[in-house]
Amino acid sequence: MSDFRCGYIALVGRPNVGKSTLLNRILGQKISITSRRPQTTRHRVLGIKSQAAAQLIYVDTPGIHGFSGRAMNRHMNRTASSVLQEVDVVVFLVDGLRWTADDDLVLKKLGQIACPVILAVNKIDLLGNREELLPGLQVLSEKRSFEQIIPISASKGDNVDELEAAIERLLPQAPPLFPEDQVTDRSVRFLAAELVREKLFRKLGKELPYGLTVEIEQFKSDAAITHIHALIWVERKSQKYIVIGKQGRVLKEVGTEARKDIEVLIDGRVNLKLWVKVKEGWADDERALHSLGYTHDE
């Protein structure tokens, strides 16, 4: 095992650049939820890939962003920033050749770390003119001294193998830290809550109240079926009606779609029941965030 490599890799970037999509692509299964809505990822999520000669421990993080007006936004920024001090390699994802003020914010935070940084230029499959890629990469290379710049498509899988190989070369020689069959440090209970939240994000689109979270109240399994009771917390009564939908249609559809994904996750039958409750201002209340699982030492 003297040549075995093992280490932590942070996936960082502003919101909605494809960090969770990349993690799921690398692992070959869904660990982090995804949607078209920014700030879908709110927690640090570990994804573990064990190979013959290496164990790569990826840390998916919330998008780093400039707005810090609410406790939830501050929590996400703190979570992402704290990870940077604890890893062996950083993969900085950007959205194609689009550079924003939030990318500058990420770049500034990367100036405070000593480990190697790979720039992954994601969504290259969406570039209208591929001739823009090379000069665009040249501009990005002037932002800082990156270990490597790799254009990828997380959704299509383009160049993801090349990215993984580059990461593995940078990891320290060390024995594996997790059993080879472990894929994440998160519990099935946590993943079930996230899958419900993913369906809400995707179903509600622009109507989505960002002051929304999911808490698993009951998770019990018997020989035939797993019974899950989930509470969907919103901040205002008007948001409750949005989540439930006319004649309960939205809540029913969310429950059906989430149940199917949870059944795949646990490889068994699931009875999922959802309720919507109001906790005013929870997303701007540090104590309420903590009680709902948004802790800084996660």
pLDDT in tens, 149-187: 999 999 999 999 999 999 999 999 999 999 999 999 888
Cα 218 to Cα 199: distance, rounded to the nearest angstrom: 19
The pLDDT assigned to 37 comes to 65
Cα 197 to Cα 191: distance, rounded to the nearest angstrom: 10
**H runs (alpha helix) in the chain:** 19-27, 71-83, 101-110, 133-141, 160-170, 188-204, 237-244, 249-266, 286-291
**CA 4 and chain centroid, separation:** 27
Give the CA count within 13 Å in the CB-facing half-sphere of 188.
Answer: 16
Least-confidence region, from 86-100, 179-193, 196-210, 220-234 = 196-210
pLDDT in tens, 27-69: 998 888 777 766 666 667 889 999 999 999 999 887 776 666 5
Residue 145 has pLDDT above 70, yes or no: yes
Angle at 227 between CA 226 and CA 231, to 5 degrees: 135
Per-residue pLDDT band at 281 (split at 50, 70, 90): confident
> Which domains, and CATH codes, for the chain?
5-170 (3.40.50.300), 188-291 (3.30.300.20)
The pLDDT assigned to 222 comes to 87
The pLDDT assigned to 67 comes to 62
The pLDDT assigned to 211 comes to 74
Q: What is the mean pLDDT of the chain?
A: 87
Query: One-letter amino acid identity for 46?
Result: L
8 A C-beta contact, residue 5 and residue 174? yes
pLDDT higher at 77 or 250:
250
pLDDT higher at 137 or 289:
137
Residue 297 has pLDDT above 80, yes or no: no
Cα 140 to Cα 124: distance, rounded to the nearest angstrom: 14
Residue 294 has pLDDT above 80, yes or no: no
Joined together, the tokens standing for residue 273 give 């029941």
pLDDT higher at 76 or 240:
240
**What is the edge-to-edge ordering of all strands in the sheet holding 54-60?**
45-50, 54-60, 5-12, 89-95, 117-122, 148-151
Cα 66 to Cα 129: distance, rounded to the nearest angstrom: 30
Give the CA count within 13 Å in the CB-facing half-sphere of 213.
Answer: 24
8 A C-beta contact, residue 92 and residue 118? yes
Burial 100-120 (b: 16+ CB within 10 A, else e): eebbeebbebbeeeebbbbbb
The pLDDT assigned to 232 comes to 93
Q: What is the pTM of this model?
A: 0.84
Using DSSP, state whether 206 is helix, strand or coil: helix
Q: Please give the span between the terminal C-alpha atoms of the chain, in angstroms, as a whole number.
A: 30
The pLDDT assigned to 160 comes to 97
